[in-house]
Structure 1
Amino acid sequence: MLQFIHATVFTGDQWLTNATVRVAKGRIQDVLTSSDPADATDETIDLAGDYLVPGLVDLQLYGGSNLFLNDQPTPDTVRHIYASHVKNGTTTLLPTIHSTSLEIMQQSMAAVQTVRQENPFGVPGIHIEGPYFNPIKRGAHSSAYVRKPTEAELETLFSANADAIRILTLAPEMFTSEQLQLLFSLKHANTRLSLGHSNATYAQATDALNSGQIPLATHLYNAMRGFESREPGIVGAVFDHDTVHASIIADGYHCDPATIRIARKLLGDRLFLISDALFANTPGLDGPRPDFSLGEFIVHFEPDPAGPGRYVNNEGKLAGSALTLIDCVRVCVEKAGIPLTDALRMATTIPATVIGMGDQIGKIQPDYVANLVRLSPALTVKTVWQIGDELTA
């Protein structure tokens, strides 16, 4: 058995100081208070007061340090993506593809399915972002691929590896009512539909969210109709809804820190973090890539001495980030003024619940998977354990 002593533990619900966490066979066995004696026969790691937090859960990212799923939809690319992000504390992730051909979508699903069978708690599925978007809100998605759905394409999409689709982001106004009903009937129980890249009105968005079939909204504020006094838009519909969960890109570029703080106040535990990373800026690995082709766009990395940097396309539009989820946690705490407890829940417990895995990952509690991260008080990643095993460089 492995035990961590003198740890400042975030359980997912509360903080425990000078605590002991015991791990065996990849699962957490005990979480003990300082009054409980350590077992001298166990392998012991003294954290000397550092934070021990659940592994982070990122439900939207596209690449690793230098490989990109849309470009190379293979199991090796998926493994590379995971290896790049897990070094920075993200122990569960959904590799994501942006709007593309049906063939690349199917190849990506098959690749993720292969790795999912190898690493079910690390890569539990894929996030398919698009292509069924409103062209007005396509953002950096290629106009060559953004399109309306057809019944035949929907049937083909869900004909194989449908259980690997954890999130499908779409613009509901681009579907007929018959197509939406078909989608609801075809999708696997694992699949969460998410409203995004949409120009729906407040009424349209509210109807979609009230359907009971679209429980999520993708990257709040970005690529969606905004809040205005006479038309509350999708942002207003999300804020006004009782149950919808929304992701947000807290990288300091996509959203002003004040808008992150406001969203947290209004949504509480229905707001969660995503990195939206095209490539990961991971110490010890080459990357992020300085430029690459994204559909008809050439996308460039812009370094930032005050932050992790960002990607923009040749139209000057934001095209994604170059960070990992721990960077978003730091932005929430240091720039948005969100308490560390809340920021960590937004990166662990809440996204785990969103994909139906909140009883397995996202907490440090008995019987949970031992995905653990040691953080310094400055919120830098010192060590990562995946299913109880320490990751090596």
Structure 2
Amino acid sequence: MSRIPEQRGAGASHPLLELSGWLVLPHGTAASFGRLSFGQWIESMETLEESQDQPRRYILPGFIDTHVHGGGGGDTMDGVAGIQTLSRLHARHGTTSLLATTITNPWERIMAALQAVRQVMDLQAQQQAQGRVPTGAQVLGAHLEGPFISPQRLGAQYPATREPTPELIAEVLAAECVRAITLAPEVPGIAAAAQQLAAAGVRMGVGHTRADGDQTAAFLQELAPLGRLAATHLFNAMGGIEGRVPGPPGALLSHPQVFPEVIFDLQHVHPLNLQLARAACPDRVMLITDAMRAAGQGDGESELGGQAVTVRDGRATLADGTLAGSVLTMDQALRNAVGAGVPLPEASRMASAHPARSLGLTDRGELREGLRADLVVLDEDLQVVDVYIGGQRLAPVPQGEI
């Protein structure tokens, strides 16, 4: 993990820019009209009297998606080109940082995908050092979703689960890109693997599990002193909550360190369950996309992890009707949350500040002086108008590319 952290001052400098509009600030309950001055980093902010001459627009910190498989026809499992494609698609929807997410597959394919993530990270670092205008979201690393999960709770995952031997975990860490992982508490050897992963700074998420509430709670208690914790797409690919059967969601929501991921595409999670997560974890709920390659492609036939997927009316399913990831983008997740009654500043934190904290990032996720100028500008309907990554306006898409 030593090659991942970002430092202020890295990369070529560029001229200061200014943006004015309704600033969605950290800890605020409403947006404030003001102006940002920024280069690669936010240099200053000031409040202003509202201008009647400008259309109403909101300036938010760029979205951070910690769980995204694909988009625009590309997928993490495709290698370098697929990762670059998905990063371009999601950047145009306000995502400025992401974790390219793998899926359970034969081991050699997973390792090839992790090597590709590392290559993209290195390429982006070189481009930043040269001052080149970004064309896609910054790939912070990988989220390894599987293969250390329950074969009985695969969801849309490929049936190639493994037990996490010390040798396999060492191989994962040697790729120098894994920042988050999904684990099922009941998998043999998982506790020892979690200790290896935590020592390397990897965020550990519970998901794709048949464990009950007590097993999950015991696992979380064991992991809590070791590092950062998450719930992989809370409520999905795990049991539910009943009066005498809390299931994994009950254990995850009641733990004070867990950052719950929520796929809020109005397909995976009912709005009342989003409200439950907000009430239980008011400063930790994270919006994610769990997007697959079909995101941004419209309805039709697609693929996820080697399995055929059909997208119809925005719902992606396997042949048997199982939900297969999503075609969500982070701007739509934000709009959905606001539509469900979440105030815009809180929805912004769910899309930016909370994911940043879950990964231990201290250089982004909020509008604050000294942080990276990763910005998304939205119109009054919360549609994306502009995106800035490290203070540079997102480059136009080359002709013929996503």
- Structure 1 gap segments, 5+ residues each: 37-45
Read off the aligned partner of 1:52 and give its amino acid letter: I
- Per the alignment, residue 329 of structure 1 pairs with 334
Please, which of 18, 33, 37 is the counterpart of residue 22 of structure 1? 37
Q: Does the CA-based 8 Å contact 1:280-1:324 persist in structure 2? A: no
Following superposition, the deviation at residue 114 of structure 1 comes to 1.8
Q: Does the CA-based 8 Å contact 1:84-1:280 persist in structure 2? A: no
What is the aligned-residue RMSD (CA, Å)? 2.2
Q: Does the CA-based 8 Å contact 1:68-1:278 persist in structure 2? A: yes
- Per the alignment, residue 97 of structure 1 pairs with 102
Please, which of 365, 371, 378 is the counterpart of residue 368 of structure 1? 371
The reply on whether 1:264 has 2:278 as its aligned counterpart is yes
Q: Secondary structure at the match of 2:354?
A: helix
Read off the aligned partner of 1:264 and give its amino acid letter: R
Q: Does the CA-based 8 Å contact 2:375-2:388 persist in structure 1? A: yes
Query: How many residues end up aligned between the 2 structures?
Result: 365
- Structure 2 gap segments, 5+ residues each: 1-15, 126-136, 397-402
Query: Cα deviation per residue 1:147-170 (whole Å; 9 max; x = unaligned)?
Result: 333343233333x22x31011101
Read off the aligned partner of 2:182 and give its amino acid letter: T
- Per the alignment, residue 353 of structure 1 pairs with 357
Separation (CA, whole Å) in 1 of partners of 2:282 and 2:335: 18
- Per the alignment, residue 173 of structure 1 pairs with 186
Q: Secondary structure at the match of 1:76?
A: helix
The reply on whether 1:117 has 2:122 as its aligned counterpart is yes
Query: Cα deviation per residue 1:52-108 (whole Å; 9 max; x = unaligned)?
Result: 1110010111112001122x12x2222111111001100011111110122122111
Separation (CA, whole Å) in 2 of partners of 1:217 and 1:17: 32
Read off the aligned partner of 1:85 and give its amino acid letter: H
Query: Cα deviation per residue 1:142-192 (whole Å; 9 max; x = unaligned)?
Result: 22x12333343233333x22x31011101021123xx52244125553311
- Per the alignment, residue 261 of structure 2 pairs with 247
The reply on whether 1:76 has 2:81 as its aligned counterpart is yes
- Per the alignment, residue 220 of structure 2 pairs with 209
Residues 289, 63 of structure 1: CA spacing in aligned structure 2 closer, same or farther, 3 A cutoff?
farther
Please, which of 71, 79, 82 is the counterpart of residue 64 of structure 1? 71
- Per the alignment, residue 318 of structure 1 pairs with 323
Separation (CA, whole Å) in 1 of partners of 2:273 and 2:49: 42
Matches within 5 A, 1:277-292: 277-279=291-293, 281-282=295-296, 287-288=297-298, 290-292=300-302
Normalised TM-score (structure 2): 0.85
Separation (CA, whole Å) in 2 of partners of 1:93 and 1:99: 19
- Per the alignment, residue 387 of structure 1 pairs with 390
Normalised TM-score (structure 1): 0.87
The reply on whether 1:52 has 2:71 as its aligned counterpart is no
- Per the alignment, residue 43 of structure 1 pairs with none
Following superposition, the deviation at residue 19 of structure 1 comes to 0.5
- Per the alignment, residue 133 of structure 1 pairs with 149
Residues 295, 367 of structure 1: CA spacing in aligned structure 2 closer, same or farther, 3 A cutoff?
closer
Matches within 5 A, 1:291-306: 291-294=301-304, 297-302=307-312, 304=313
Matches within 5 A, 1:189-208: 189-208=200-219
Following superposition, the deviation at residue 279 of structure 1 comes to 2.8
Separation (CA, whole Å) in 2 of partners of 1:146 and 1:289: 30
Please, which of 5, 8, 11 is the counterpart of residue 25 of structure 2? 11
Residues 157, 220 of structure 1: CA spacing in aligned structure 2 closer, same or farther, 3 A cutoff?
same
